[in-house]
């Protein structure tokens, strides 16, 4: 479904953030990208989303070359990202945030239905529809960011560290919902530092180190590999 081939990303003159990075995501999968701080996880998602331009390499999504497409066209193609740090519109209400998620859609009835679905998925948002999104708690903001992305009806949903800064119970909740979204038919590319949780719900995983893929396998195998256990799973 998504095929990233040998991308190289530079910031400024010196920083070579992604080095010949390739990865594949198949229809219906949950694929996780794990790695330490600064490994290049966000850079990978931002390159796929069109926010960062690779110097070389290609990104193909459902047989369409999206490497040079502007970010808003990539969303139109069915690829949506929940960015690191949520990036919700704090000045707008919860409801308006969700409406903006459906910005490209014109099917009013279906939008209303999806909004209902998001509120069912996240009842806490339903209780806070008219509240400025900036007043939500961290966990609620993460739910809003996911809900907002769902409103675009993505084929492939990319999540950048959805567990960041959340209490363990909430992390569990978020991961359960990610799984639920996947079962409902949305393919998932999940970036995480919480490798244990990520590997527990993913089908396959990639391990990133300083801009390179150093390992890839099924999630269950990765969870047993010594290096991964030592580096990311606390022994």
Partner 1 sequence: MVEFFQQMINGISLGSIYALIALGYTMVYGIIRLINFAHGDIYMVGAFIGFFATTVLKLPFFPAFLMAMAGCAVLGMIIERIAYKPLRHAPTITLLITAIGVSFLLEYGMIWAMTPQPRAYPNLLPTYQFNFSGLIVSVQQLFILVVALVLMVLLHVLVQYTKAGKAMRAVSYDKEAAALMGINVDSVISYTFALGSALAGAAGLLVGVYYNRIDPLMGIMPGLKAFVAAVLGGIGIVPGAMVGGLLMGVAEALVSAFLSSTYRDAVAFAILIIILLIKPAGLLGKKTQEKV
Ligand X SMILES: Nc1ncnc2c1ncn2[C@@H]1O[C@H](COP(=O)(O)OP(=O)(O)OP(=O)(O)O)[C@@H](O)[C@H]1O
Q: CB of 17: closest distance to partner 1 in angstroms? A: 17
First-last CA distance in the chain: 34
Of 39-47, 97-105, 121-129, 172-180, which part binds ligand X (CB under 6 A)? 39-47
The reply to whether 194 sits near ligand X by the rule CB under 6 A is no
Minimal CA–CA distance to 84: which of 44, 29, 123?
44
User: 24, 76, 84, 173: which one contacts ligand X (CB under 6 A)?
Assistant: 84
The reply to whether 134 sits near partner 1 by the rule CB under 8 A is yes
Of 12-20, 32-40, 77-85, 161-169, which part binds partner 1 (CB under 8 A)? 77-85
Contact 4, 54 (CB under 8 A): no
Q: CB of 173: closest distance to partner 1 in angstroms? A: 23
State the Cα angle at 138 between 136 and 143, rounded to 5°: 80
Q: Got the DSSP string for 143-189?
A: HHHHHHHHTT--SEEEEE-TTTT--HHHHHHHHHHHHHHHHTT-EEE
User: What torsion, rounded to 10 degrees, do the Cα atoms 191, 40, 38, 69 define?
Assistant: -90
Q: Which of the 8 DSSP states describes residue 92? A: S
The reply to whether 150 sits near partner 1 by the rule CB under 8 A is no
The reply to whether 70 sits near partner 1 by the rule CB under 8 A is yes
Of 58-66, 89-97, 203-211, 225-233, which part binds partner 1 (CB under 8 A)? 89-97
Long-range contacts for 106-112 (Cβ within 8 Å, ≥24 apart)? 111/151
Would you say 38 or 57 has its CB closer to ligand X? 38
The reply to whether 39 sits near ligand X by the rule CB under 6 A is yes
The partner in contact with residue 75, picked from ligand X, partner 1, Mg ion, none with C-beta cut-offs of 5 to 8 angstroms by kind, is partner 1
The reply to whether 130 sits near ligand X by the rule CB under 6 A is no
Chain residues in the site for partner 1 (CB under 8 A) = 49-51, 70-72, 75-76, 80-81, 83, 87-92, 96, 99-101, 103-104, 134, 148-149, 152
């Amino acid at each position: 479904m998504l095929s990233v081939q040998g991308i190289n990303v530079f910031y400024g003159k010196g920083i070579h953030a992604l080095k010949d990075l390739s990865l594949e995501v198949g229809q219906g999968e949950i694929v996780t990208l794990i790695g330490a701080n600064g490994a290049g996880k966000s850079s990978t998602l931002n390159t796929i989303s069109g926010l960062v331009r690779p110097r070389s390499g290609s990104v193909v999504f459902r047989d369409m070359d999206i490497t040079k497409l502007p970010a808003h066209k990539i969303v139109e193609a069915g690829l949506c990202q929940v960015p690191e740090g949520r990036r919700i519109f704090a000045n707008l209400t919860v409801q308006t945030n969700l409406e903006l998620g459906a910005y490209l859609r014109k099917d009013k009835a279906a939008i209303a239905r999806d909004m209902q679905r998001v509120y069912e998925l996240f009842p806490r948002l339903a209780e806070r529809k008219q509240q400025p999104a900036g007043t939500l708690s961290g966990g609620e903001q993460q739910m809003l960011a996911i809900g907002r992305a769902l409103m675009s009806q993505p084929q492939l949903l990319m999540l950048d560290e959805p567990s960041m800064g959340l209490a363990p119970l909430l992390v569990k909740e978020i991961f359960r919902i990610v799984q639920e979204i996947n079962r409902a038919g949305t393919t998932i590319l999940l970036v995480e530092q919480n490798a244990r949780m990520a590997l527990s719900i993913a089908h396959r995983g990639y391990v990133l180190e300083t801009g390179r893929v150093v390992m890839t396998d099924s999630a269950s195998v990765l969870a047993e590999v010594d290096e991964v256990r030592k580096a990311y799973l606390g022994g």
